[in-house]
């Protein structure tokens, strides 16, 4: 079964790799400009002036827009999880390839749980737009705070391990 | 809903110090032990116990701990960029998504 699948996929290795890299690019960078140049200045202004009503309005708006802006990232991630195993099979990769093992440990141990929480915050129970429509002001504020804490904790981790994963995939150092 | 509502954010430097110390230590310990499991446990290779990967893991963790705290403090406007911004007050309209049919139905259900 595995051999048959490998024979079927092997001729398409480069095409699958192209799709994988395309989605990795979308996943890594699609929210970067919005995050650095729109979300961050507003959130920093809020942290410096937490009671300013105009900044609060803008903070809420920018967070709601960012929830929606994360759609590209969150479409790309499942595509990475789909094309990754296809590449693994097509390329005849195995766990004896050490750089790949490290990369998979990072993806499964860090990026996967982080993204699952991000899906919740952006599109499911933590979606700010939907919470605002429900009229639950306390939950709205709580989820804005939760999302901001998530950004604070995840930003250094994503930047460092995201670059490391790219480095491992491209240079295959060991 | 009263849109303008705020309560104090729980983030503070002591918490950030803890997170930026524990995060890299736990993450890199997980990665090293995971690699031990795969490289030695599954494939019986012993290079993972040599001094180079151990040193690399320790140095990588130390660098992460060193840079993560100021990074997080910067993000949270505790210091660094952001202090030079002006806050001009403007009255504007913000574009909002229209209510979807599902949201409308849900809203009407909540009100009734």
Tens of pLDDT, residue by residue over A40-64, are 999 999 999 999 999 999 999 999 9
Answer for the pair A66, A132: CB distance below 8 angstroms, yes or no: no
In this complex, is the C-beta atom of B35 within 8 Å of any C-beta atom belonging to chain A? yes
Residues of B in contact with A58 (CB under 8 A): 94
Estimate the crossing angle of helix A137-171 against helix A53-69, to 10 degrees.
50
What token pair was written down for B106? 């849900």
Closest-CA residue of chain A to B20: A153
- For A101, residues 6+ apart whose C-beta sits below 8 A from its C-beta are A95, B34, B35, B38, B39
Residue B51: burial class (beta carbons within 10 Å; 0-12, 13-18, 19+): exposed
Of B3, B42, B75, the CB nearest to A155: B75
Residues of A in contact with B38 (CB under 8 A): 95, 98, 101, 105
The CB density around residue A80, as the number of other CB atoms within 10 Å, is 20
What token pair was written down for A56? 């609060």
Asked if A50 lies within 8 A of B87 by C-beta distance, the reply is no
Which residue in A65, A25, A75, A23 sits closest to A42, CA to CA? A65
Answer for the pair B87, A55: CB distance below 8 angstroms, yes or no: yes
Of A145, A153, A160, the CB nearest to B64: A160
What does the pLDDT look like over A135-157, one tens digit per residue?
999 999 999 999 999 999 999 99
Residue B2: burial class (beta carbons within 10 Å; 0-12, 13-18, 19+): exposed
Give the per-residue pLDDT at B109: 67
Answer for the pair A89, A2: CB distance below 8 angstroms, yes or no: yes
Interface ipTM: 0.91
Average pLDDT, chain A: 95
Q: How far apart are the first and last CA of chain A?
A: 30
The more confident residue out of A73 and A1 is A73
What token pair was written down for A53? 């009503």
d(C-alpha B76, C-alpha A45), whole Å? 10
pLDDT tens track of chain B, all 112 residues? 545 556 789 999 999 999 999 999 999 999 999 999 999 999 999 999 999 999 999 999 999 999 999 999 999 988 766 667 788 898 889 998 877 776 667 666 666 5
DSSP reduced 3-state for B1: coil
pTM of the model: 0.90
């Amino acid at each position: 079964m595995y051999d048959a699948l490998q024979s079927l996929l092997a001729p398409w290795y480069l095409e699958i790799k192209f799709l994988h890299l395309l989605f990795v690019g979308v996943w890594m960078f699609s929210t970067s400009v919005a995050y650095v140049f729109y979300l961050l200045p507003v959130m920093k202004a809020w942290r410096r002036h937490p009671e300013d009503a105009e900044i609060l309005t803008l903070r809420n708006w920018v967070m709601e827009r960012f929830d929606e802006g994360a759609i590209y990232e969150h479409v790309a991630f499942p595509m990475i999880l789909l094309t990754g195993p296809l590449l693994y099979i097509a390329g005849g990769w195995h766990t004896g390839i050490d750089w790949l093992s490290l990369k998979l440990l990072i993806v499964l141990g860090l990026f996967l749980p982080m993204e699952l929480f991000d899906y919740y915050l952006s599109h499911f129970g933590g979606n700010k737009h939907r919470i605002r429509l429900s009229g639950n002001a306390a939950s709205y504020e709580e989820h804005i705070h939760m999302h901001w804490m998530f950004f604070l904790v995840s930003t250094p981790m994503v930047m460092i391990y995201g670059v490391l994963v790219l480095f491992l995939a491209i240079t295959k150092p060991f | 809903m009263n849109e303008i509502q705020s309560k104090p954010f729980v983030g503070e430097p002591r918490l950030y110090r803890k997170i930026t110390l524990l995060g890299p230590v736990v993450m890199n310990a997980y990665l090293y032990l995971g690699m031990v499991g795969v490289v030695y446990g599954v494939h019986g290779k012993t290079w993972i116990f040599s001094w180079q990967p151990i040193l690399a893991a320790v140095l990588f963790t130390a660098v992460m701990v060193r840079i993560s705290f100021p990074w997080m403090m910067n993000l949270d406007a505790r210091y660094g960029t952001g202090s030079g911004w002006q806050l001009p007050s403007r009255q504007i309209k913000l574009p909002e998504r229209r209510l979807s049919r599902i949201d409308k139905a849900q809203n009407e259900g909540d009100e009734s």
